[in-house]
Amino acid sequence: MKTNILLLVAFFVGSIQAEDKSELSLSLGADLTTSYLWRGLPQGTLPALQPWGELSYKGFTLGTWGSYELAGGFKEIDMYAKYTLKAFTLQFIDLYFPDYVGLNPDFFNFKKAETGHAAELGVSYNGSEKIPFTVYGGMIIYGAAVDPNASNASELNKSAYVEVNYLGTLNDIKYNIFTGFTPTESLLYGSSQFAFIHVGVSAQKTLKITDFFSLPLKLTLAANPNSNKFYMAFAISL
């Protein structure tokens, strides 16, 4: 019986791939970075391995992404769903912090005042060849323990974040000039009002090792004007 079910599943998956081979895709990878910087906020203090995977069909994508410090410490596991139509993408992402101090580590605990989950709903404009800008705006819609209200820690603040990127190429190096801000008071982002929290530039270059193997490299320089901090990170895509 089990063999018949497995054969049926294999036949079904094979049929989908045969009909929509150009539409269905699975992507896997990992980055090794000297530090994990998120929206002008360092997550942990050590180098981290960041695996990811995506399953896409037409404009729909389901994915997962994680960050694990190499010597233990900070961990993050994200799951997301997004839909892209022409130059726009609607995205829902669940961020889960299993070892964050003060948060409940139980994956299935969704009590708003203690959960290790935070959910963000966002929309982005992805740019084009004629318009080399991307714009993303997102708002936390769940997870008061991660994003507490300044006057009542048991309530959600609904922190918002907006980022604008300018994409360009110089010789064989792709670069990205970015600026990100939060429009309101936010304990999550450490702001008391409108504030720029993530401003900088990143550069990407692919290093050819052999005719069959190359390594994408990325260098990021970023500042958080709100906290007067400056950061540099170097990443290798595996």
Tens digit of pLDDT at every position of the chain (238 positions): 333 333 333 433 444 444 455 689 999 999 999 999 999 999 999 999 999 999 999 999 999 999 999 988 899 999 999 999 999 999 999 999 998 888 999 999 999 889 999 999 999 999 998 999 999 999 999 999 999 999 998 999 999 999 999 999 999 999 999 999 999 999 999 999 999 999 999 999 999 888 888 999 999 999 999 999 999 999 999 9
What does the DSSP assignment read for 46-66? S-EEEEEEEEEETTEEEEEEE
Alpha carbon distance 195, 69 (integer Å): 29
199 three-state secondary structure:
strand
> Which two tokens mark 2?
């089990």
Of 147, 154, 139, which is closest to residue 100 (Cα–Cα)? 147
CB atoms within 10 A of CB 169: 10
